[in-house]
Amino acid sequence: MHRTPITSDIPQDSGDSEISNLPTAPTTEKRSADQKSLILALFDEPVLKPLATLLDRLLLQRPSETLDINSYIEAIRLFVNLTGPDRAKYFGKLTGLHSPSSFLSAWNKEYRIKLQPEIPLCPFSWAYVYSKGGRGLIYTRDAAVTDGFPELLVRPVIIDCGVWRQLILWLAIWYLIGDETFNKVFSCKPREFTLMPDHDGLLRRFYDLPEAGESQPQPNIQISTVYNDVTYPAKHPAGCERLQNVISINDVHFIFNPGGPSILSVAELEQRLRAAYNTPQQPEDRDIIRLYKENPEKVPPGLRKHLSENDQYVDRTLDEDEWGRRKREREAKASKTHYVLNFKRLMSFIQERAA
C-alpha cells in the first residue's frame, strides 16, 4: 500500500478543531478572539523533523519479524519516552499530547492571556466523548485509524492519563505489526474507534482479571489505577494527581508525565503522589473551592463530604508513616481497576484476521 510522507499525509485543520466551546476567563471580546486565534495558529505549526521521520517509518513499516512480547514492550517504551522525557525533541511547546495541567503551564509561559482548566482541544478528525469513566476520544473520519494517530501527535491535543494509556498501547501495536496489517485487522467504521480513560474499547476483549488470567511468561503487561489519598480532591480540587492510570511491566509503572520522567518504580510513584498531596493549596484550588461553596449544586457527589470539611485539609500533609497506614485503603480502591493484557490472545487475533 502506497503512503505519502507524513508532512503531506495529514489533513490540514480548517478551524473545525474542537475549540468552538473553549472556556475562557472573563475578558473583553477582543481578548477572547485573540485567544482563539492563538490556539488556531497551533494547528498550523510545522512538524518537527524527528517526529516526521518516525511517523513516515510507521506509515511505511512492515510487520516486525519478531511479534513477541519483548518487542511490544520496547515499542511501548518508545512512545512513553516520546511523550515524556523526550518530548522536546519531537514536539513543539504547545503541540502534541498534553495533560490539562501541562498545556496550561506551557501556555502561561508563552502568553499573557490566561486559559481556564479543562480546555477541550483536539484535531478536527477526533471528538470528545463522555462516559461514566470520564472524557475520551472518538475517531470520526471515514478513513483508516492509522490516518488519525499522527494527527494526535502533530496537533495540539489535551487528554488525561487514561486516554494516554490506551493510545500508547495502540501506537505500540501499530509499530509492531505495521500500517497495512493494522488497518486490515482493526478496520473500523466512523465513530467506532475510541480511546477511553478506563479499559473500555476494542482492546477490552484482551484483558483478563489477574486472578483469572491465563498463565503468562514474564514479563507481562498490566494496566491499573494508582490512587492518591482519598482526601486529595478536597485539598486540591484543581489538581491533576488524584490518580495515575498506568501501564505496569515487572513492577515498573509507565505514567503520563509530559516532558518529565515517565518510567517509575512503585516506590517512586508513591513518593510522587504523596509529594503532590503535600504541595500547598494553589490559587486554582481556592478558586474552585470558592466556586463550589457559592454553587453547591455543582459539587461532584464524591467530593461533597470532604469539601464540607475542607478547612481541615488546607494545610494538611501526610508523613511517610501516615501515608503507609492508609496504603490498604488506596490499594482496595485500585484492585477494581487492575487487568492483565493477554498478549498471546491479542497476537492470535491479529494473525487470524491478517491471514
The predicted pLDDT at position 347 comes to: 94
Instruction: Quote the cell numbers at residue 19.
Output: 475549540
Q: Average pLDDT of 207-224?
A: 76
Cβ atoms of 307 and 289 within 8 Å: the answer is yes
pTM of the model: 0.87
**47 pLDDT more than 90:** yes
* % of the chain beyond a pLDDT of 70: 85
Q: Average pLDDT of 43-47?
A: 91
**198 pLDDT more than 90:** no
Average pLDDT, the chain: 85
How many of the other CB atoms lie within 10 Å of CB of 97?
Answer: 26
The predicted pLDDT at position 237 comes to: 85
How many of the other CB atoms lie within 10 Å of CB of 328?
Answer: 9
* Residues contacting residue 302 through CB under 8 Å, at least 6 positions apart: 233
Instruction: Quote the cell numbers at residue 113.
Output: 492571556
Q: Greater confidence, 4 or 187?
A: 187
The predicted pLDDT at position 93 comes to: 93
* C-alpha distances in Å from residue 25, one per residue of 22, 28, 32: 10, 10, 9
The predicted pLDDT at position 9 comes to: 44
The predicted pLDDT at position 313 comes to: 81
How many of the other CB atoms lie within 10 Å of CB of 271?
Answer: 14
Specify which residues 96 forms β-bridges with: 156
How many of the other CB atoms lie within 10 Å of CB of 238?
Answer: 18
Query: Pick from 107, 109, 108, 102: which is nearest to 87 by CA?
Result: 102
Considering just the CA atoms, what is the radius of gyration of the chain in Å?
21
Query: Pick from 114, 51, 121, 119: which is nearest to 82 by CA?
Result: 51
Burial 75-89 (b: 16+ CB within 10 A, else e): bbbebbbbbbbbbee
Specify which residues 259 forms β-bridges with: none
517509575: which residue's cell?
264
* DSSP strands (E only) in the chain: 96-98, 126-131, 134-139, 156-158, 194-195, 207-208, 221-227, 243-249, 252-254, 263-265, 339-341
The predicted pLDDT at position 294 comes to: 85
pLDDT band at 197 (very low <50, low <70, confident <90, very high): confident
pLDDT band at 272 (very low <50, low <70, confident <90, very high): very high
* DSSP strands (E only) in 110-167: 126-131, 134-139, 156-158
Phi, then psi, of 25 in degrees rounded to 5: -70, 155
The predicted pLDDT at position 120 comes to: 80
